[in-house]
Amino acid sequence: MVTASETLLSAISKYEVVIGLEVHVQLLTATKAFCACSTKFGAPPNTNVCPVCLGLPGALPVLNKRAVEFATLAALALNCEIRETSIFARKNYFYPDLPKGYQISQYDRPIAEHGHINIKVNGESKRIGITRLHMEEDAGKSLHDGFPDSDKNTYIDLNRSGVPLVEIVSEPDMRTPDEAHEYLTRLKEIILYTGVSDCNMEEGSLRCDANISVRPWGQKEFGTKAEVKNVNSFRFIKQALEYEIERQVELIESGGKVAQETRLYNSSEGKTYSMRSKEQAHDYRYFPEPDLRPLVVDATWQSEIKKTMPELPEARRTRLVSDYGITEQDAGVLTMTRSRADQFEEAAKHSKNPKRVANLVQGELMGRLKAKGIDMEQSPISMKGVAVSADLVEANAISGKMLKDFYDIAFERGKDFPIVYAEEGSPKQSTDTGALEKIIDEAIAANPSQLAQYRGGKKTVAAFFVGQVMKASKGQFSPAVVNELVGKKLDG
């Protein structure tokens, strides 16, 4: 039997994969792109609407300045060039959730072009080009399920109609589903840092359409692409792309041709299905939007917007490595969100050993979070708590074993480290050498044959005694102290 991954491996040994992604990101403005209606998610259906976003005759759009600032900030963060004068265009198509019969978008003169994102896959860095970033409005939502008469009727919620989006179109620069996954991860991270979107995929604030084709290795022209639409997680996008590679290669190998079409991914089956062919594709009949003036974002405005740019993840990773002496891997984990990086830096500044803080995050915090199935943002132990615990270990006040126990208690009680440490009476690692000596004497008395080995010259047996003592003393004593005293006793 041939497994899926073998099929995939054999496919990519003969064919090169080409992937380009189109990502829609909803901007976090309080009001819609061309009217004053609220953009709040989850309001009762059709309550955030007005003549403009309902497309009533005679209503005129007024551009939201904040949306322009957000789009420009996102574009700059993605290394794009800003077009000083961009043009809104009507994209015409007929669909029940599009009351005007067109969507206001941008076409041949988008607000931004020629950007890129750097990605790293299997240790190799690569630059993925961004063709363009343009502004547009969202359509409404058709609701097909959840009503008693869903078999007969579709319901329309126009709260989303007119919500501002940017569409970010990549160059066909990706060569594997892993690269696509990494591109999306980095893109989302950058957008989140800028604060222009919450990128919440469940609420549709970030949506991705994936274009994919294959060509025999060495062929210059691209193969015919298929577009996979509306996949709602990065993991599913990767799976859908893997499925498409197998499907397209199998089709070509059996003498067929890949059709240019739009496909949908069924995540429970792990397969894509044809939704519409090129013949059925829309002819959008784009033309300049007559109700809006050209959008001018001049140099002065651009530089004002630039001033609101935070340090971006890539730069921050580099800086954390050099400022705190942490590893690149640590920096990667600690910069995954802006608030996490802020927290770490706040903690690291007040800690005697930022490196230990980073190590504890990787070594003690991540595993416990994973076991509990929660994100760092929901961690009972804050970065400050990690810093406090790191400093206690640093000062030999508590042992590594004690730290682990307190982390367990913190997770059990859902409380931060300093709180549970205080609740337990702020115990210190014992410096009572009398008690320690007693434990060592007992360990030596209980293991005469090991003692004989040691005295016979096998010095490595000391480690056995150290282990016995650490266990018997339940980690109350620092390993350094135990090592020293055990050595003395064995020799003496």
The answer to whether 169 contacts ligand ADP (rule: CB under 6 A) is yes
Would you give the binding string for ligand ADP spanning residues 13-52, x where CB under 6 A is met? Answer: -----xxxxx------------------------------
135 binds Zn ion (CB under 5 A): no
Q: Which C-beta is closer to ligand ADP: that of 73 or that of 210? A: 210
DSSP-assigned letter for residue 279: G
Shortest separation between residue 27's beta carbon and ligand ADP, angstroms: 20
DSSP state letter for 292: S
Closer to Zn ion by Cβ: residue 156 or 201: 156
Q: What is the DSSP letter of 263?
A: E
CB-count burial class (<10 Å; 0-12, 13-18, 19+) for 137: buried
Residue 393: CB atoms within 10 Å: 18
CA atoms of 40 and 31, how far apart (whole Å):
8
Which range of residues in 35-43, 138-146, 172-180, 267-275 is near Zn ion by CB under 5 A? 35-43
Among residues 164 and 223, whose Cβ is nearest to Zn ion? 164
According to the binding rule CB under 6 A, does residue 485 interact with ligand ADP? no
In whole angstroms, the minimum distance from the beta carbon of 110 to ligand ADP comes to 12
Please choose, out of 211-219, 243-251, 292-300, 448-456, the segment that lies near ligand ADP by the rule CB under 6 A.
211-219
> Is the C-alpha dihedral spanning 196, 198, 199, 204 positive or negative?
negative
Q: Which is nearer to ligand ADP, 213 or 379 (CB)?
A: 213
Out of Zn ion, ligand ADP, none, what residue 19 binds, judged by CB under 5 to 8 A for its kind, is ligand ADP
Residue 482 binds which one of Zn ion, ligand ADP, none, with CB within 5 to 8 A depending on kind?
A: none
Q: Is 139 in the site for Zn ion (CB under 5 A)?
A: no
CB of 29 to Zn ion, least distance (A): 13
The answer to whether the CB of 357 falls within 8 A of the CB of 390 is: yes
Between CA 191 and CA 208 the distance in angstroms is 14
Residue 166 near residue 67, CB atoms below 8 Å: no
| Partner touching 147 among Zn ion, ligand ADP, none, CB below 5 to 8 Å by kind | none
Using the minimum distance from each CB to ligand ADP, give the nearer residue, 175 or 355. Answer: 175
Least separation, in Å, of the C-beta of 278 and ligand ADP?
Answer: 9
- Per-position b or e across 14-40, b if 16+ CB within 10 A of its CB: ebbbbbbbbbbbbbbbebbbbbebebe
Minimum CB separation of residue 94 from Zn ion in Å reads: 21
Does the protein bind ligand ADP through residue 171 (CB under 6 A)?
Answer: yes
- Interface with ligand ADP includes 259 (CB under 6 A)? no
Residue 187 binding target from Zn ion, ligand ADP, none, CB below 5 to 8 Å by type: none
In sequence order, what are the residues at sequence separation of 6 or more whose Cβ sits closer than 8 angstroms to the Cβ of residue 334?
320, 326, 340, 341, 344, 358, 361
Is there a contact between 80 and 305 (Cβ–Cβ < 8 Å)? no
The position carrying tokens 């789009």 is 71
Residue whose beta carbon is closest to ligand ADP: 20
Q: The dihedral of CA 358, 364, 367, 370: what is its sign?
A: negative
Does 263 bind ligand ADP (CB under 6 A)? Our answer is no
CB of residue 25 to Zn ion, shortest distance in Å = 20
59 binds Zn ion (CB under 5 A): no
In angstroms, the first-to-last Cα distance of the chain is 67
In this structure, are strands 295-296 and 155-157 parallel, antiparallel, or unpaired?
A: unpaired
DSSP run (H or E) holding 369:
helix 366-372
In the list 19, 35, 168, 348, the residue contacting Zn ion (rule: CB under 5 A) is: 35
Chosen from Zn ion, ligand ADP, none, partner binding at 462 (C-beta under 5 to 8 Å by type): none
Q: Which is nearer to ligand ADP, 22 or 394 (CB)?
A: 22
CA dist., res. 242 & res. 62, Å (int): 43
The 3-state DSSP class for residue 321 equals helix
Cβ atoms of residues 33 and 64 within 8 Å: yes
Stretch binding ligand ADP (CB under 6 A), from 12-20, 119-127, 311-319, 446-454: 12-20
Given 11, 27, 53, 76, the residue binding Zn ion (CB under 5 A):
53
Among 50, 63, 321, 472, binds Zn ion (CB under 5 A): 50
Amino acid at site 283: D
The three-point CA angle 111-114-115 to 5° equals 95
Residue 170 is a binding residue for ligand ADP (CB under 6 A): yes
Tokens of 121: 């896959």
Assess 222 for contact with ligand ADP (CB under 6 A): yes
Sign of CA dihedral 357, 358, 364, 367: positive
Interface residue list for Zn ion (CB under 5 A)? 35, 37, 50, 52-53
The site for ligand ADP (CB under 6 A) is made up of 18-22, 169-172, 211-213, 222, 225
